[in-house]
Amino acid sequence: NMLWEEYVLVQLKKAARNHEGIQVFGQRSKSFWPGVSIRPDIIIETQNDICVLDTKWKNIKHYNPSAQDLRQMYVYNDYWKDDSKPANSILLYPTTAETKLPDYKQFVERKHFCAIGKLNILNDQSLDPKIGHEILEEWLQIS
């Protein structure tokens, strides 16, 4: 799981160099409860919004994440938004099939959403160096 997270983070940071006004951060923390903090895997910040990205090294079928994963993303959205920028999130899972980014679902009666994406990190049996660009381009289309 840590390798998957680190690979996505490094590729996103490389891709962000080509986009002015985009910053990518790994493992940013915020206080959640006395003595307890929350720390999503990756934060993508643009001039208009914040994307909380959480990588999950598990196989999901038919884009049905666990209730626990959805609750986690809901809390991230709530804690990372600010008065000038909404926060939305992406749960990102690995796949060996064709990349499918992402399927957007809005939380019921809320203005923020969580996208579910499956990402193939391979390109002809090698690691795909363009996955960071794919994620950013998809995010920029909706932000």
Highest mean pLDDT among 9-13, 56-60, 61-65: 9-13
Task: Dig out the tokens for 111 from the structure.
Answer: 């203005």
Task: Dig out the tokens for 65 from the structure.
Answer: 């994440």
Percentage of the chain with pLDDT > 90? 24
Task: Dig out the tokens for 103 from the structure.
Answer: 């399927």
pTM: 0.85
pLDDT above 80: residue 61: no
CA quadruple 74, 44, 86, 78: dihedral sign? positive
Taking alpha carbons only, the member of 84, 31, 73 closest to residue 51 is 73
DSSP for residue 135: H
Distances (CA, A) of 126 to 90, 120, 134: 25, 11, 16
The pLDDT tens digits of the residues spanning 63-75 come to: 678 889 888 988 9
Average pLDDT over residues 105-126: 74
Residues present in the chain in total:
143
Q: Report the alpha-carbon distance of residue 124 to residue 101 in Å, rounded.
A: 19
pLDDT above 80: residue 104: no
Calculate the average pLDDT of the chain: 83
Average pLDDT over residues 42-52: 89
Q: Report the alpha-carbon distance of residue 53 to residue 16 in Å, rounded.
A: 14
pLDDT above 80: residue 105: no
Q: How many CB atoms lie within 10 A of CB 16?
A: 19
The pLDDT tens digits of the residues spanning 13-31 come to: 999 998 888 999 998 888 9
Percentage of the chain with pLDDT > 70? 87
